[in-house]
């Protein structure tokens, strides 16, 4: 069982590595526009700053800074993951099936 270390620091900066459950797939780069759209959707509803991000075929690295007084990383990742997973190729819901993105929090 994975044991994530999470620092609940309102307004803090956080480093993430997030990977596909099936590391043999290249969904993140194959559907980069959908991934961008998922991030844009979530940032409009739950503000955060993307300080740096690298997207590779099967995983991504990101550095975020949350607004002062806010430490809710989980909601943001949940919404990004679900938005990306449900978008699917051609924008048809469910086409891609559920894509499990597994976050790894670093401090």
> How many domains are there within the chain?
1
Report yes or no on 8 lying in a domain. Answer: no
More confident residue, 98 or 30: 30
Tell me the residue range of the domain where 42 lies.
13-106
More confident residue, 72 or 103: 72
Q: What's the pLDDT score for residue 70? A: 92
Which are the contacts of 32, defined by CB distance < 8 A and separation ≥ 6?
A: 55
- pLDDT exceeding 70 applies to what percent of the chain? 74
CATH number of the domain encompassing residue 65: 3.30.70.1290
Count the Cβ atoms, other than its own, within 10 Å of residue 19: 17
Chain-centre distance of CA 51, in angstroms?
A: 14
Report yes or no on 56 lying in a domain. Answer: yes
Report yes or no on 68 lying in a domain. Answer: yes
Report yes or no on 26 lying in a domain. Answer: yes
Residue-wise pLDDT for 35-78, tens only, equals 999 999 999 999 999 999 999 998 899 999 999 999 898 899 98
**What's the whole-number average pLDDT of the chain?**
79
């Amino acid at each position: 069982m994975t044991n994530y270390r999470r620092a609940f620091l309102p307004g803090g900066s956080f480093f993430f590595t997030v990977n596909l459950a099936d590391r043999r797939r290249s969904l993140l780069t194959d559907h980069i526009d959908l991934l961008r759209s998922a991030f844009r959707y979530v940032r409009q509803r739950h503000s955060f700053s993307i300080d740096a991000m690298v997207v590779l075929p099967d995983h991504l690295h990101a550095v975020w800074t949350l607004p002062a007084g806010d430490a809710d990383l989980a909601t943001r990742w949940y919404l990004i993951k679900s938005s990306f997973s449900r978008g699917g190729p051609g924008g048809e819901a469910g086409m891609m099936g559920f894509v499990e993105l597994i976050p790894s929090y670093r401090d």
